[in-house]
């Protein structure tokens, strides 16, 4: 079991590169959509590459259900109640998402037949969506904590006073509290890039199920772009573990 979890963790790098390629293809196909005549071959190639990446990722994701359950067991032990709740619910939904994903994979290779593809695909998106919403709640919780910490910091208060007095026109025109709030928010994110990156990643990811579930219809270009950005952040955090949010 441990060896299996370790192995699938190692394959995360490959999954992220496949994912980045998949969304880069989706974005390119969207950008090339108008110039059909001469770019037809290119678009066809990109489509087949996108499909290959997507299928390849599905095969390697077979072990991820176990990983997510293991992660849920770990986050259940967290002493911080809010973190414990957000991350455990996120991980359980992620496990459910992978179960749906595995069922869809089994259908696509012909292992099972009598299932409603659309139904399972929608369920997968719903679980993914809830997992992201819980992840984002956790990000918001972390950001609020950081801001409270910063606001109490004497050294930071002086800096903020200076910022507000140096930019009086901003403070006068816009509500001064808003200016102070934004300054505090940006400074907090700047000093904790891991939290900033995780928030950006989860926000980008959110567009994918929002579009799929019809809650917020964007287009293939937005989905491709957001998917690409989030995959690139995923690669960066894998290469630079200190930029990955913990736990
Ligand atoms: C939610 O966050 C956890 C921990 O950072 C991560 O492992 C998981 O992939 C995230 N869920 C989604 C759906 O991105």
For residue range 65-94, list pLDDT tens digits in order: 999 999 999 999 999 999 999 999 999 999
Please report whether residue 171 resides in a domain: no
- Position with higher pLDDT, 247 vs 137: 137
Q: Beta-carbon neighbour count of residue 47 at 10 Å? A: 14
Smallest CA-to-CA distance from 90 within 141, 142, 134 is with 134
pLDDT of 173 = 56
Residue 122 belongs to some domain of the structure: yes
- 125 assigned to some structural domain: yes
Examine residue 85 and state whether it is found in any structural domain, yes or no.
yes
Could you tell me if residue 168 is inside a domain? no
pLDDT at 36: 66
What pLDDT is stored for residue 14 in this prediction?
87
Give the helix/strand (H/E) hosting 197: helix 193-212
Task: Give the Å distance between the CA of 96 and the centre of ligand 1.
Answer: 13
Residues in the chain: 247
Structural domain harbouring 89:
2-152+192-243
Q: 229: closest CA among 202, 247, 190, 209?
A: 202
Distance of CA 170 to the CA centre of its chain: 34
pTM score, whole prediction: 0.91
* 166 belongs to a structural domain: no
The ligand 1 atom at the shortest distance from the C-alpha of residue 71 is: 7
135 alpha carbon – ligand 1 mean position (Å): 6
**Residue 176 falls within a domain, yes or no?**
no
Given a cut of 70, is residue 172 above it in pLDDT? Answer: no
Total of domains in the chain: 1
pLDDT above 60 (res 156): yes
Per-residue pLDDT for 49 more than 70?
yes
DSSP 241: G
Is the per-residue pLDDT at 108 higher than 80?
Answer: yes
Q: Which residues of 146-180 are buried (b: 16+ CB within 10 A; e: fewer)?
A: bbeebeeeeebeeebeebeeeeeeebeeeeeeebb
Does the residue 219 lie in any domain? yes
Single out the residue of 193, 190, 194, 218 nearest to residue 206, CA to CA: 218
């Amino acid at each position: 079991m441990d060896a299996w979890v370790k192995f699938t963790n190692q394959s995360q790098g490959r999954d992220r590169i496949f994912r980045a390629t998949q969304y880069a293809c989706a974005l390119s196909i969207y950008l090339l959509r108008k110039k059909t005549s001469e770019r037809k071959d290119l678009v066809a190639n990109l489509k087949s590459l996108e499909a290959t990446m997507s299928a390849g990722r599905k095969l390697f994701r077979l072990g991820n259900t176990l990983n997510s359950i293991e992660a849920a067991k770990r986050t259940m032990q967290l002493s911080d109640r809010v973190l414990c709740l957000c991350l455990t619910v996120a991980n359980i939904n992620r496990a459910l998402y992978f179960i749906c994903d595995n069922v869809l994979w089994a259908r696509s290779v012909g292992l099972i037949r009598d299932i409603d593809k659309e139904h399972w695909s929608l369920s997968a998106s719903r679980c993914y969506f809830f997992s992201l919403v819980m992840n984002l709640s956790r990000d918001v919780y972390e950001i609020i904590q950081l801001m409270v910490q910063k606001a109490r910091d004497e050294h930071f208060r002086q800096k903020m006073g200076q910022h507000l007095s140096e930019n009086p026109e901003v403070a006068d025109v816009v509500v001064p509290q808003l200016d102070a709030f934004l300054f505090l928010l940006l400074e907090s994110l700047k000093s904790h890039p891991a939290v900033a990156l995780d928030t950006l990643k989860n926000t980008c990811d959110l567009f994918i199920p929002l579009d799929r579930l019809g809650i917020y219809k964007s287009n293939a270009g937005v989905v491709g772009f957001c998917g690409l950005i989030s995959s690139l952040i995923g690669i960066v955090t894998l290469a630079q573990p200190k930029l990955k949010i913990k736990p």
